[in-house]
Structure 1
């Protein structure tokens, strides 16, 4: 069975855009013309145009039609989680500690809580080919009776750690990346004996009310990192 006709419409218009037959700002053939060309209903044509719009190929102006979108040439997509990311290859995680703490002023401010609110702290080491390449620490809001299963935490991503309390699709995430000099504790864990810098990924999770529910810091050895994104 072949692809639905609306997929053929999508692929044909993409081909015209990618070959510069249709340029940014050009008008996409009107719905009536596409209906006649492909022998389909307006609903089928609109389904194809909706896909092209969602993928950033076209935009619509009510009452006028659809136009080829100017590409965002400086936009790249970066896929990231602690265990599978474009920074380096992590093949093993070791749990160092899971404990309940009282936050200091800085952490309480990051999580928008008072200093008498309990927080779960999780510390791990990530390895590549037997060598420690990243030091990972996570802070999660603690709720009374919240189960802490160390075996599950050891290999889990940050999002998976909170999946029991909040559906992953309801999570909002913010990421920031910086270069930092490690303190003595991190140097010891990562076998660093000189002034090697770290690439530190800060990941903050929010619930659907835009309130922080956790914050994590993963510090990668500077000689193991490789950061890459894609414009696709």
Structure 2
């Protein structure tokens, strides 16, 4: 099957960039030159250039042309699923508590709300092969009349908890990852009796207006989880 012309333009320019035939800062062939080379219309050529720009290969300067972008060497994409990672997966979830609370100053700041705004707090334990591997806390903005269905909450991922209020594709996500020494309560929940550090993942979910919809904090046993990132 023959690829559309715009995709041939995309792949050919990618090959030149990846082989260093075109280097960061070099000028990409002009629209006219590409039209002549591929026997294509300007609309087709511009479609190909738009794909390259969206994928981060090139950038445009009005009146001057298109140029090869310098790669972001420190940028990685992390695929995070709170119940699955590259070495383990959660096979059982235990709901510890669902409660409506008043936020403290830090939580109110994180969620960009006042301290008199109600918040739903959900606490869970995650298990693998019968052993507790993670302690999970979620904070969701409370809305009056909002039903709290514990069976749905018990097994849902964080985005799924908010999917009835915001379409999944509309949710914007932010991750913060760090290590921490567990407190006594978390040690007890996770059966930790030594100095095992925890990997903590904070998730903050936003709507399309960049307003926080919820905050999730999951404390993983350091011997359970492994996160990986790739450069693109």
TM-score, with length taken from structure 1: 0.92
Does the 8 A contact of 1:87 with 1:227 survive in 2?
no
Mapped contact 2:80–2:227 kept (Cα < 8 A): no
Moved more, 43-52 or 145-154: 145-154
Task: Say whether residues 1:192 and 2:192 are aligned partners.
Answer: yes
Structure 1 residue runs of 5 or longer lacking an equivalent are none
TM-score by length of 2: 0.92
Question: Which residue of structure 1 aligns with residue 229 of structure 2?
Answer: 229
What corresponds to 1:215 in structure 2? 215
TM-aligned CA deviation for residue 91 of structure 1: 3.4
Mapping of residues 11-50 of structure 1, within 5 Å:
11-50=11-50
CA distance in 2, matches of 1:212, 1:32: 46
What is the RMSD of the two structures over their aligned residues, measured on CA atoms?
A: 1.9
What residue number does 2:202 align with?
202
Q: Which runs of 5+ in 2 are unaligned?
A: none
* 2:63 matched residue in structure 1: 63
Q: How does 1:5-154 map to 2 (within 5 A)?
A: 5-85=5-85, 88-154=88-154
Q: 8 Å contact 1:84–1:90 — kept in the other structure? A: yes
Deviates more, 1:163-172 or 1:138-147: 163-172
SS in 2 for 1:8: helix
Contact 1:97 1:124 in 2 (8 A): yes
* Cα separation, 1, equivalents of 2:64 and 2:110: 47
CA offsets per residue over residues 6-34 of structure 1, 9 Å max, x none?
11111111111111111111111111111
